[in-house]
Amino acid sequence: MPAAPSRIPLNTLAVPFGLAGFAETWSTAAPALRLHPAVPQVFWAVAAVAFVWMLVAHALRGVRAHERLVDQLRHPAQGPVAALVPAAGMLLGLDLHRFVPVAGTLLVAVGVTVAAFFAAWLLSTWFEGRLALESVHGGYLLPTVAAAFVASATTHEVGLAWLSWPAFGVGVFFWVVMTGLLLIRLSFRPALPGPLVPSMAILVAPPSVAGFALFLLTDHRVTLFAQAIAGLGALLFLVQLALLPRYVRLRFTLGFWSFVFPAAAVASVAIEWLRVLDVPFAWAPTAVLLALLCVLVGWVGARSITLGLHHALRQAEDVLQAADDEDAQPGPVTGATRSV
């Protein structure tokens, strides 16, 4: 009798989340480029299909897996990444609201509720004192920071504004806490396993999503707070540029989808700044940003599809699983096992 399969690594949820962020960038760029409203909807449709497909794939594998879902959610490396489900759902709900307001609002509300309860539960498991600093990676910004800022922006847009500032406050508080924890881990503990290195790109997402949300909450005013967030975002973007040589040396894995949403968030907030500042000929830098993002998404998508065509997706999942398990192990780790 064949052994029961393992669950699909939760890192793969970065696929629909990244595609939703990509679609949102198209929606943000559409006015400046005078695109027909139907153009961004093509990418929203792709993101929705990927979201449903990924949820179904996880559910079907989970029925046959030997591991319980709760064990996967409590996994030190994988657990926080599950926050991508409600976060992606909120983004898709925002787009759905443009066509079916009631359904879109409901999807956003469900996403916010699931994200809040999951974050509270996850924090309670961390408070048991069994979390090793070595387990922390960029994904730890997702449950309480990224999800909160996404909730702030989407609730404002679908008419649940009474939730927007509270969500923003949660995001700001945990942004400070979790970023500090992550910087300590990255600076003073062994390097991340190669497949998890792309998660460092998530550092640039919070200031980008927070800046975008703040524009929505303040009627697109250039406040001092918005400028401060932009300054921090610019610094963290420069950090990502400095990390490019390390990223280039990485062997491709499904973990590269962790690059997509942060890149989309940076592009979206940059395009929004161009609009708010009423920059002349803003369509030109907008087109460049969108083109660069398309190249990234196209390359990551093509490489992922190639894995599927070569029947190598299971091996790719095993690579992510091994990296998650390695990252979850406390104690000193040799440079050889952490090489990129």
**What is the structure's pLDDT at 328?**
64
Task: Please enumerate in sequence order all residues whose Cβ is within 8 A of that of 282, keeping only pairs 6 or more positions apart, or say none.
Answer: 32, 271, 274, 275
Distance, CA of 8 to CA of 29 (rounded, Å): 34
Q: What are 231-288's pLDDT values in tens digits?
A: 999 999 999 999 999 999 998 988 899 999 999 999 999 999 999 999 999 999 999 9
pLDDT at 3: 62
Q: How far apart are CA 301 and CA 64, in angstroms?
A: 28
Provide DSSP, 274-317: HHHTT-TTTHHHHHHHHHHHHHHHHHHHHHHHHHHHTT-HHHHH
Per-residue pLDDT of the chain (340 residues; tens, 9 = 90+): 456 678 888 989 999 999 999 999 999 999 999 999 999 999 999 999 999 999 999 999 888 888 888 888 888 888 899 999 999 999 999 999 999 999 999 999 999 999 999 999 999 988 888 788 888 889 999 999 999 999 999 999 999 999 999 999 999 999 999 999 999 998 888 888 888 899 999 999 999 999 999 999 999 999 999 999 999 999 999 999 999 999 999 989 888 999 999 999 999 999 999 999 999 999 999 999 999 999 999 999 999 988 877 656 667 666 767 666 666 666 544 333 343 3
SS3 33: helix
Considering only CA atoms, which of 164, 280, 281, 183 is closest in space to residue 236? 183
Helix, coil or strand: residue 214:
helix
CA 135 vs CA 14, 226, 234, 241, 257: distances in Å: 19, 32, 27, 25, 20
pLDDT at 91: 97
pLDDT of residue 337: 37
Write out pLDDT tens, residues 142-153.
999 999 999 999
- Residue 335's pLDDT is 39
Domains of the chain with CATH codes: 10-327 (1.50.10.150)
Q: What is the pLDDT of residue 2?
A: 55
The pair of structure tokens assigned to 32 is: 């400046």
pLDDT of residue 137: 87
Which pLDDT does position 194 carry in this prediction? 81
Half-sphere exposure of residue 149, counting CA atoms within 13 Å on the CB side? 22
The pLDDT score that the predictor gives to residue 7 is 85
DSSP 257: G
- The rounded percent of the chain whose pLDDT value lies above 70 is 90
